[in-house]
Protein backbone atom coordinates (compact mmCIF):
# COMPACT_ATOMS: atom_id res chain seq x y z
CA UNK A 1 0.00 0.00 0.00
CA UNK A 2 1.30 3.45 -0.88
CA UNK A 3 1.40 6.17 1.76
CA UNK A 4 -0.85 9.10 0.82
CA UNK A 5 -1.18 12.71 1.99
CA UNK A 6 -4.77 13.23 3.11
CA UNK A 7 -6.65 16.30 4.31
CA UNK A 8 -9.73 15.81 6.49
CA UNK A 9 -11.88 18.93 6.83
CA UNK A 10 -13.93 18.83 10.00
CA UNK A 11 -12.98 17.58 13.47
CA UNK A 12 -16.38 16.43 14.64
CA UNK A 13 -16.90 12.78 15.51
CA UNK A 14 -16.92 11.51 11.92
CA UNK A 15 -14.04 13.65 10.68
CA UNK A 16 -11.96 12.65 13.69
CA UNK A 17 -12.67 8.94 13.25
CA UNK A 18 -11.75 9.08 9.56
CA UNK A 19 -8.52 10.86 10.43
CA UNK A 20 -7.81 8.08 12.94
CA UNK A 21 -8.68 5.40 10.39
CA UNK A 22 -6.42 6.80 7.69
CA UNK A 23 -3.66 7.64 10.15
CA UNK A 24 -3.67 4.17 11.66
CA UNK A 25 -3.37 2.77 8.14
CA UNK A 26 -0.09 4.69 7.79
CA UNK A 27 -1.23 7.68 5.74
CA UNK A 28 -0.11 11.25 6.56
CA UNK A 29 -3.24 13.13 7.65
CA UNK A 30 -3.91 16.83 8.21
CA UNK A 31 -7.08 17.32 10.25
CA UNK A 32 -8.73 20.73 10.08
CA UNK A 33 -10.30 21.92 13.31
CA UNK A 34 -12.15 25.22 13.34
CA UNK A 35 -10.79 27.45 16.09
CA UNK A 36 -7.11 27.86 16.94
CA UNK A 37 -7.50 26.98 20.63
CA UNK A 38 -9.46 23.82 19.91
CA UNK A 39 -6.96 22.75 17.26
CA UNK A 40 -4.01 23.36 19.58
CA UNK A 41 -5.65 21.36 22.37
CA UNK A 42 -6.45 18.45 20.06
CA UNK A 43 -2.92 18.49 18.63
CA UNK A 44 -1.41 18.49 22.13
CA UNK A 45 -3.70 16.06 23.97
CA UNK A 46 -4.36 13.82 20.92
CA UNK A 47 -7.89 13.29 22.24
CA UNK A 48 -11.12 14.82 20.92
CA UNK A 49 -12.69 15.27 24.34
CA UNK A 50 -15.98 16.58 22.97
CA UNK A 51 -16.78 13.91 20.39
CA UNK A 52 -14.54 10.83 20.81
CA UNK A 53 -13.00 11.04 24.29
CA UNK A 54 -12.15 7.33 24.50
CA UNK A 55 -9.75 7.31 21.52
CA UNK A 56 -6.37 8.84 20.74
CA UNK A 57 -5.18 10.27 17.44
CA UNK A 58 -2.23 8.36 15.97
CA UNK A 59 1.07 10.18 15.52
CA UNK A 60 0.44 10.27 11.76
CA UNK A 61 -2.37 12.85 12.24
CA UNK A 62 -1.51 16.56 12.44
CA UNK A 63 -4.20 19.00 13.61
CA UNK A 64 -4.41 22.58 12.35
CA UNK A 65 -6.85 25.49 12.22
CA UNK A 66 -5.35 26.77 8.95
CA UNK A 67 -7.81 25.58 6.33
CA UNK A 68 -5.77 26.48 3.28
CA UNK A 69 -2.66 24.77 4.68
CA UNK A 70 -4.75 21.69 5.44
CA UNK A 71 -5.60 21.06 1.79
CA UNK A 72 -2.56 22.43 -0.01
CA UNK A 73 -0.58 19.72 -1.79
CA UNK A 74 -2.80 16.88 -0.55
CA UNK A 75 -3.62 13.90 -2.74
CA UNK A 76 -7.04 13.38 -1.12
CA UNK A 77 -9.29 16.06 0.40
CA UNK A 78 -12.07 14.62 2.54
CA UNK A 79 -14.93 17.00 3.38
CA UNK A 80 -16.71 16.13 6.62
CA UNK A 81 -18.43 19.42 7.39
CA UNK A 82 -22.22 19.56 7.89
CA UNK A 83 -23.96 19.86 4.54
CA UNK A 84 -25.04 23.46 5.16
CA UNK A 85 -21.38 24.47 5.42
CA UNK A 86 -20.07 22.74 2.29
CA UNK A 87 -20.57 25.67 -0.10
CA UNK A 88 -18.84 28.21 2.15
CA UNK A 89 -15.92 25.96 3.10
CA UNK A 90 -15.11 24.74 -0.40
CA UNK A 91 -15.58 28.16 -1.97
CA UNK A 92 -12.86 29.39 0.38
CA UNK A 93 -10.35 26.66 -0.50
CA UNK A 94 -11.17 25.96 -4.15
CA UNK A 95 -8.03 27.69 -5.41
CA UNK A 96 -5.82 25.93 -2.85
CA UNK A 97 -6.83 22.40 -3.84
CA UNK A 98 -4.34 20.71 -6.17
CA UNK A 99 -5.82 20.22 -9.69
CA UNK A 100 -5.02 16.51 -9.44
CA UNK A 101 -6.44 16.07 -5.94
CA UNK A 102 -9.40 13.78 -5.32
CA UNK A 103 -12.16 15.45 -3.30
CA UNK A 104 -14.18 12.99 -1.22
CA UNK A 105 -17.45 14.27 0.20
CA UNK A 106 -18.77 12.69 3.42
CA UNK A 107 -21.53 15.23 4.15
CA UNK A 108 -25.06 13.80 4.14
CA UNK A 109 -27.69 16.37 3.36
CA UNK A 110 -29.36 18.66 0.84
CA UNK A 111 -28.70 22.37 0.49
CA UNK A 112 -31.43 24.56 1.93
CA UNK A 113 -32.83 27.12 -0.51
CA UNK A 114 -31.35 25.61 -3.68
CA UNK A 115 -32.54 22.03 -2.96
CA UNK A 116 -29.23 20.85 -4.45
CA UNK A 117 -27.41 17.62 -3.73
CA UNK A 118 -23.77 17.90 -2.68
CA UNK A 119 -22.39 17.08 -6.14
CA UNK A 120 -24.24 20.09 -7.56
CA UNK A 121 -22.78 22.30 -4.82
CA UNK A 122 -19.28 21.09 -5.68
CA UNK A 123 -19.86 21.82 -9.35
CA UNK A 124 -20.85 25.36 -8.39
CA UNK A 125 -17.73 26.14 -6.37
CA UNK A 126 -14.84 23.91 -7.49
CA UNK A 127 -12.73 24.10 -10.65
CA UNK A 128 -14.27 21.97 -13.37
CA UNK A 129 -11.53 19.32 -13.37
CA UNK A 130 -11.69 18.87 -9.59
CA UNK A 131 -15.51 18.82 -9.53
CA UNK A 132 -15.72 16.26 -12.34
CA UNK A 133 -13.43 13.90 -10.40
CA UNK A 134 -15.06 14.43 -6.99
CA UNK A 135 -16.35 11.37 -5.16
CA UNK A 136 -19.04 10.81 -2.54
CA UNK A 137 -18.70 8.52 0.49
CA UNK A 138 -21.78 7.12 2.23
CA UNK A 139 -22.96 4.05 4.06
CA UNK A 140 -23.72 2.47 7.44
CA UNK A 141 -20.93 3.72 9.69
CA UNK A 142 -20.95 5.04 13.26
CA UNK A 143 -17.90 7.11 14.20
CA UNK A 144 -17.33 5.44 17.56
CA UNK A 145 -17.14 1.99 15.97
CA UNK A 146 -14.69 3.14 13.29
CA UNK A 147 -12.54 4.78 15.97
CA UNK A 148 -12.59 1.50 17.92
CA UNK A 149 -11.29 -0.37 14.87
CA UNK A 150 -14.47 -2.35 14.26
CA UNK A 151 -15.13 -3.53 10.68
CA UNK A 152 -17.32 -1.50 8.34
CA UNK A 153 -18.29 -1.42 4.67
CA UNK A 154 -19.15 1.73 2.77
CA UNK A 155 -19.70 2.90 -0.81
CA UNK A 156 -17.84 5.53 -2.83
CA UNK A 157 -19.71 7.09 -5.75
CA UNK A 158 -18.24 9.04 -8.63
CA UNK A 159 -18.68 9.69 -12.32
CA UNK A 160 -14.99 9.07 -13.06
CA UNK A 161 -14.37 5.33 -12.68
CA UNK A 162 -10.57 5.67 -12.66
CA UNK A 163 -10.67 8.17 -9.81
CA UNK A 164 -13.09 6.02 -7.79
CA UNK A 165 -10.83 3.01 -8.22
CA UNK A 166 -7.80 5.07 -7.17
CA UNK A 167 -9.49 6.23 -3.96
CA UNK A 168 -10.92 2.78 -3.26
CA UNK A 169 -7.50 1.16 -3.48
CA UNK A 170 -5.72 3.84 -1.47
CA UNK A 171 -8.18 4.19 1.40
CA UNK A 172 -9.59 0.69 1.91
CA UNK A 173 -8.14 -1.34 4.76
CA UNK A 174 -8.74 -4.63 6.54
CA UNK A 175 -11.34 -2.90 8.75
CA UNK A 176 -12.79 -0.45 6.21
CA UNK A 177 -14.02 -1.99 2.98
CA UNK A 178 -14.95 0.43 0.19
CA UNK A 179 -17.22 -0.50 -2.72
CA UNK A 180 -17.69 1.78 -5.74
CA UNK A 181 -20.62 2.89 -7.88
CA UNK A 182 -21.29 5.43 -10.61
CA UNK A 183 -24.71 6.37 -9.16
CA UNK A 184 -23.78 9.61 -7.41
CA UNK A 185 -27.38 10.82 -7.12
CA UNK A 186 -28.60 7.57 -5.58
CA UNK A 187 -25.85 7.55 -2.97
CA UNK A 188 -26.42 11.19 -2.05
CA UNK A 189 -30.21 10.94 -1.86
CA UNK A 190 -30.05 7.77 0.23
CA UNK A 191 -27.54 9.30 2.62
CA UNK A 192 -29.55 12.48 3.06
CA UNK A 193 -33.18 11.40 3.34
CA UNK A 194 -32.51 8.36 5.53
CA UNK A 195 -31.92 10.89 8.32
CA UNK A 196 -35.53 12.08 7.99
CA UNK A 197 -36.77 8.51 8.30
CA UNK A 198 -34.47 7.94 11.29
CA UNK A 199 -36.14 10.80 13.15
CA UNK A 200 -39.51 9.20 12.36
CA UNK A 201 -38.31 5.81 13.65
CA UNK A 202 -36.97 7.39 16.82
CA UNK A 203 -40.24 9.26 17.28
CA UNK A 204 -42.17 6.01 16.93
CA UNK A 205 -40.02 4.38 19.59
CA UNK A 206 -40.28 7.45 21.82
CA UNK A 207 -44.07 7.18 21.60
CA UNK A 208 -43.85 3.50 22.52
CA UNK A 209 -45.41 2.29 19.27
CA UNK A 210 -43.37 -0.91 19.17
CA UNK A 211 -41.11 -2.91 16.87
CA UNK A 212 -43.80 -3.55 14.27
CA UNK A 213 -44.26 0.17 13.70
CA UNK A 214 -40.51 0.79 13.47
CA UNK A 215 -40.12 -1.98 10.87
CA UNK A 216 -43.01 -0.53 8.85
CA UNK A 217 -41.48 2.96 8.97
CA UNK A 218 -38.10 1.68 7.79
CA UNK A 219 -39.66 -0.29 4.93
CA UNK A 220 -42.00 2.45 3.76
CA UNK A 221 -39.23 4.97 4.32
CA UNK A 222 -37.04 3.07 1.89
CA UNK A 223 -39.86 3.14 -0.68
CA UNK A 224 -40.18 6.91 -0.20
CA UNK A 225 -36.43 7.52 -0.55
CA UNK A 226 -36.40 5.38 -3.69
CA UNK A 227 -39.31 7.28 -5.25
CA UNK A 228 -37.61 10.61 -4.71
CA UNK A 229 -34.25 9.31 -5.92
CA UNK A 230 -35.62 7.71 -9.07
CA UNK A 231 -37.59 10.89 -9.86
CA UNK A 232 -34.25 12.71 -9.82
CA UNK A 233 -32.57 10.17 -12.08
CA UNK A 234 -31.00 7.75 -9.59
CA UNK A 235 -30.74 4.01 -10.19
CA UNK A 236 -33.34 1.99 -8.20
CA UNK A 237 -30.84 -0.77 -7.32
CA UNK A 238 -28.66 1.70 -5.41
CA UNK A 239 -31.27 1.93 -2.65
CA UNK A 240 -30.90 -1.79 -1.97
CA UNK A 241 -27.21 -1.25 -1.21
CA UNK A 242 -25.03 0.12 1.56
CA UNK A 243 -25.95 3.76 1.02
CA UNK A 244 -29.65 2.87 0.88
CA UNK A 245 -31.11 0.13 3.05
CA UNK A 246 -27.78 -0.39 4.86
CA UNK A 247 -27.47 3.17 6.11
CA UNK A 248 -31.22 3.44 6.70
CA UNK A 249 -31.41 0.40 8.99
CA UNK A 250 -28.37 1.49 11.00
CA UNK A 251 -29.55 5.06 11.45
CA UNK A 252 -33.11 4.04 12.35
CA UNK A 253 -32.14 1.39 14.89
CA UNK A 254 -28.67 2.18 16.27
CA UNK A 255 -28.44 3.92 19.63
CA UNK A 256 -25.52 6.07 18.39
CA UNK A 257 -27.72 7.69 15.72
CA UNK A 258 -28.13 11.42 16.35
CA UNK A 259 -31.24 11.62 14.20
CA UNK A 260 -32.86 8.69 15.96
CA UNK A 261 -32.14 10.42 19.28
CA UNK A 262 -33.90 13.56 18.03
CA UNK A 263 -36.97 11.45 17.27
CA UNK A 264 -36.83 9.68 20.64
CA UNK A 265 -36.76 13.04 22.41
CA UNK A 266 -39.69 14.32 20.35
CA UNK A 267 -41.67 11.21 21.23
CA UNK A 268 -40.90 11.76 24.90
CA UNK A 269 -42.46 15.22 24.73
CA UNK A 270 -39.43 17.49 24.39
CA UNK A 271 -39.58 20.55 22.14
CA UNK A 272 -37.34 20.95 19.10
CA UNK A 273 -35.82 24.05 20.69
CA UNK A 274 -34.74 22.11 23.79
CA UNK A 275 -33.59 19.09 21.77
CA UNK A 276 -31.30 21.15 19.55
CA UNK A 277 -29.99 23.15 22.52
CA UNK A 278 -28.93 19.92 24.24
CA UNK A 279 -27.11 18.49 21.20
CA UNK A 280 -23.35 18.88 20.77
CA UNK A 281 -23.42 17.54 17.21
CA UNK A 282 -25.45 18.34 14.11
CA UNK A 283 -28.43 16.10 13.38
CA UNK A 284 -28.62 16.53 9.61
CA UNK A 285 -32.16 15.21 9.43
CA UNK A 286 -33.65 18.32 11.04
CA UNK A 287 -32.62 20.61 8.17
CA UNK A 288 -32.99 17.86 5.58
CA UNK A 289 -36.64 17.34 6.51
CA UNK A 290 -37.46 20.85 5.33
CA UNK A 291 -35.44 20.57 2.12
CA UNK A 292 -36.66 17.05 1.29
CA UNK A 293 -40.26 18.15 1.80
CA UNK A 294 -39.77 21.05 -0.62
CA UNK A 295 -37.92 18.80 -3.07
CA UNK A 296 -40.70 16.18 -3.08
CA UNK A 297 -43.27 18.91 -3.72
CA UNK A 298 -41.17 20.27 -6.59
CA UNK A 299 -40.84 16.80 -8.11
CA UNK A 300 -44.51 15.98 -7.57
CA UNK A 301 -43.44 12.84 -5.70
CA UNK A 302 -45.52 11.24 -2.94
CA UNK A 303 -43.56 11.50 0.33
CA UNK A 304 -45.98 11.03 3.24
CA UNK A 305 -43.35 10.29 5.90
CA UNK A 306 -41.34 13.36 4.99
CA UNK A 307 -44.52 15.45 4.95
CA UNK A 308 -45.53 14.28 8.42
CA UNK A 309 -42.05 14.81 9.86
CA UNK A 310 -41.99 18.30 8.36
CA UNK A 311 -45.29 19.09 10.05
CA UNK A 312 -43.93 17.92 13.41
CA UNK A 313 -40.42 19.41 13.26
CA UNK A 314 -41.05 22.66 11.42
CA UNK A 315 -44.75 23.38 11.92
CA UNK A 316 -45.23 22.21 15.51
CA UNK A 317 -47.84 19.52 14.81
CA UNK A 318 -48.53 17.17 17.76
CA UNK A 319 -46.37 14.11 17.25
CA UNK A 320 -48.90 11.45 18.18
CA UNK A 321 -51.66 12.95 16.02
CA UNK A 322 -49.35 13.38 13.05
CA UNK A 323 -48.11 9.78 13.26
CA UNK A 324 -51.70 8.53 13.52
CA UNK A 325 -52.47 10.36 10.27
CA UNK A 326 -50.06 8.02 8.48
CA UNK A 327 -52.14 5.01 9.49
CA UNK A 328 -55.39 6.55 8.27
CA UNK A 329 -54.21 7.41 4.76
CA UNK A 330 -56.09 5.88 1.81
CA UNK A 331 -55.27 2.21 1.31
CA UNK A 332 -53.15 1.33 -1.72
CA UNK A 333 -50.92 -1.26 -3.35
CA UNK A 334 -47.52 -1.77 -1.73
CA UNK A 335 -45.88 -0.91 -5.04
CA UNK A 336 -47.39 2.57 -5.09
Q: What is the CA radius of gyration of the chain?
A: 19
292-299 own/partner pairs: CB under 8 Å, 24+ apart = 292/110, 292/192, 292/193, 292/196, 292/228, 294/115, 295/110, 295/115, 295/228, 296/228, 298/115, 299/228, 299/231, 299/232
Q: What are phi and psi of 29, to 5 degrees?
A: -120, 130
Q: What are phi and psi of 110, to 5 degrees?
A: -125, 145
CA gap 305, 322 in Å, rounded: 10
Cβ-based neighbour number of residue 40 at 10 Å: 14
3-state secondary structure of 327: helix
Q: 194 catalytic, yes or no?
A: yes
Q: Which of 74, 108, 116, 194 is catalytic?
A: 194
Q: Which H/E stretch holds residue 19? A: helix 13-24
Measure Cα distances from 89 to 10, 67, 101, 308 in Å: 10, 9, 16, 32
Residues labelled catalytic: 194
Amino acid sequence: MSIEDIAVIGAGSYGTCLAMLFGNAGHRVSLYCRGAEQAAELETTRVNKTYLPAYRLPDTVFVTSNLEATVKGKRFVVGVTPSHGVREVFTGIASAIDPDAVVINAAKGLEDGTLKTMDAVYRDVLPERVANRATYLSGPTFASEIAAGMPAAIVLAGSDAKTCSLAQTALSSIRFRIYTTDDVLGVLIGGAIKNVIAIAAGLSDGLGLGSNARAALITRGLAEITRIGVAMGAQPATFSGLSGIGDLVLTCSGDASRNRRVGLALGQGKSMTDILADMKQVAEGVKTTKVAHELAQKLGTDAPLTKVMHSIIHEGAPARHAMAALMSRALRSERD
